[in-house]
């Protein structure tokens, strides 16, 4: 429908849009969108061959202006330009290096070659969906396409915040379905076998911590002895000479408790090329570059703010750590001046942090020694979370122990074991189908609880050592002397 002409002799109010036909034969529209950063007027221009098309474009700009969804002035960026700027200047300084590896792979290997030529404001959900389908046709896994989808979604969300676009097409595009691998936590029997084998393994306490406390790999390898606080108590009865002559930690029946503060993590980062573009080293991977940098084993912060936490230590874990400390002292004495005394809890033969690859190989060897099915090291974290579920630990406490920032993580990590399913089924059975009185077991006859005269005499000797008040209560339950002449006497012992 054509626009209605303004009455002759009147002028449009300030800020009103204008539509006119130019000398070039095209229809033009100009829409006031606001004020630029420098104070000048921001008027957007659109053009089309027909008046109707220009009216539609003008109305769209007016709707964007009125709803506050106004794209920045100037020519829109291409997807390639924005993704390159985002990954190198926005994401790189703020995310972990391991996350950047996935971001850069998705941006440079898949997204830019696939949709990089589009203008960012003209990218459609269908463009992304076609890219995901092509990636899978080329033999890539659905998980790879899904990672590309998550990357472009994060990048375009940032572009939307900065008003380069008004809507994010990646929020509408449907990524390929990824079938998550079913995680089966270790059973109690498997966990006991692993703990038993770990006691005979170098750095075995590291896997005890993983299985019982659920620490991430980097968190466990990043522990220092200064992060550990242990309190010892006597385990022997009060009044024993041990309490007067020995410290609590020297007691043969000592009981230890403590806390572990998670402050840092050990990560393996990818090496980067150090050679210049005009004089490349010729190697494909940065690890082979003679001037490589920013790679290898590095110390980083924990994964999130929630990851910085304090975890309580049960007594068996405290004992495992103390045994590990004693072994480490012996290794330090053997290494002498070659030992790097940096206070790491788990080290190689020279006191340096354990390489993640070495840690992975040690885990696989431990499973084989324990005769336990092959599983990921991260499955130990699932097992620890499941144990907390079985113990009915409140969710806020579980989140603190596991270092979760969101309660939704419980759904991923906490699994209902078979034993718990069976126990719940039995409870449902007892509630809905209670046992009838006829089916209940009859109480045992009194003569099955009868005691012989000699047994009664021995009990009297034991009762004589009790305090007077308890002695009177037990003697009231014993038969009289004349009742004990027979072969047996009925004695009612409280349960």
Give catalytic residues, as residue numbers.
216, 272, 378, 381, 404, 413
Partners of 28 in beta bridges? 20, 47
Least Cα distance to 360 among 345, 379, 348, 377 occurs for 377
Burial (Cβ within 10 Å: 0-12, 13-18, ≥19) of residue 266? buried
**Of 216, 235, 226, nearest in space to 258 by CA:** 226
Distance CA 474, CA 446 (A): 18
Q: What is the largest CA-CA distance in the chain?
A: 133
Cβ(114)–Cβ(134) under 8 Å?
A: yes
Secondary element (H or E) of residue 455: helix 453-463
Nearest to 45 by CA among 77, 13, 65, 17: 17
Phi-psi region of 111 (alpha: psi -120 to 50; beta: other; left: phi over 0): alpha
Angle among Cα 215, 217, 223 to the nearest 5 degrees reads 70
Burial of 432 (0-12, 13-18, 19+ CB in 10 A): exposed
What is the 3-state composition of the chain as percent helix, strand, coil, each rounded to the nearest 5? 50, 15, 40
Angular region, 232: left φ>0, alpha ψ -120 to 50, beta rest: beta
Report the alpha-carbon distance of residue 22 to residue 54 in Å, rounded: 12
Q: How far is CA 71 from CA 57, 62, 113, 317, 462, in A?
A: 14, 12, 25, 58, 91
Instruction: For residues 484 and 479, give the distance between their C-alpha atoms in angstroms, rounded to a whole number.
Output: 7
CA-to-CA dists, residue 206 to 80, 195, 222, 346, angstroms: 45, 10, 11, 7
């Amino acid at each position: 429908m054509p626009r209605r002409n303004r009455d002759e002799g009147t002028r449009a109010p300030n800020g009103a849009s204008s539509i006119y036909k130019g000398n070039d034969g095209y229809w033009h529209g100009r829409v006031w969108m606001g004020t630029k950063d420098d104070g000048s007027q921001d008027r957007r221009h659109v053009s089309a061959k027909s008046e109707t098309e220009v009216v539609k474009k003008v109305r769209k700009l007016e709707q964007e202006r009125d709803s506050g969804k106004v794209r920045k002035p100037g020519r829109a960026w291409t997807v390639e330009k924005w993704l390159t700027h985002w990954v190198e200047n926005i994401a790189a300084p703020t995310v972990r290096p391991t996350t950047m590896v996935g971001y850069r792979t998705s941006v440079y290997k898949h997204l830019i070659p696939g949709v990089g030529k589009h203008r960012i404001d003209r990218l459609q959900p269908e463009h992304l969906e076609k890219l995901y389908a092509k990636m899978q046709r080329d033999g890539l896994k659905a998980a790879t396409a899904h990672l590309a989808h998550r990357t472009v979604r994060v990048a375009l969300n940032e572009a939307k915040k900065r008003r380069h676009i008004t809507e994010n097409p990646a929020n509408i595009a449907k990524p390929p379905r990824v079938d998550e691998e079913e995680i089966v936590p270790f059973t109690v029997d498997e966990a006991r076998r692993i703990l038993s084998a770990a006691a005979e393994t170098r750095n075995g306490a590291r896997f005890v911590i993983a299985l019982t406390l659920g620490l991430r790999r980097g968190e466990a390898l990043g522990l220092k002895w200064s992060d550990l606080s242990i309190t010892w108590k006597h385990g022997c009865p009060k009044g024993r000479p041990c309490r007067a002559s020995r410290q609590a930690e020297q007691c043969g029946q000592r009981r230890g408790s403590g806390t572990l503060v998670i402050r840092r993590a050990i990560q393996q980062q990818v090496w980067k090329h150090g050679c210049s573009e005009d004089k490349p080293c010729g190697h494909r991977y940065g690890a082979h570059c003679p001037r490589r940098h920013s790679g290898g084993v590095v110390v980083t912060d924990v994964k999130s703010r929630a990851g910085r936490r304090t975890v309580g230590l049960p007594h068996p874990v405290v004992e495992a750590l103390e045994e590990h400390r004693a072994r480490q002292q012996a290794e330090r004495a053997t290494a002498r001046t070659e030992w790097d005394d940096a206070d790491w809890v788990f080290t190689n033969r020279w006191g340096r942090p354990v390489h993640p690859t070495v840690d992975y190989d040690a885990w696989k060897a431990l499973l084989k020694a324990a005769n336990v099915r092959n599983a990921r090291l991260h499955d130990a974290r699932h097992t620890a979370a499941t144990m907390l579920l079985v113990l009915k630990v409140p969710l806020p406490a579980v989140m603190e122990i596991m270092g979760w920032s969101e309660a939704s993580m419980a759904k991923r990590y906490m699994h209902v074991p078979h034993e718990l399913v069976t126990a719940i089924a039995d409870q449902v059975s007892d509630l809905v189908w209670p046992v009838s009185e006829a089916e209940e077991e009859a109480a045992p006859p009194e003569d099955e609880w009868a005691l012989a005269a000699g047994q009664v005499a021995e009990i009297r000797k034991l009762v004589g050592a009790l305090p007077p008040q308890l002695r009177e209560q037990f003697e009231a339950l014993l038969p009289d002397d004349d009742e004990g002449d027979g072969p047996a006497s009925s004695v009612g012992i409280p349960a």
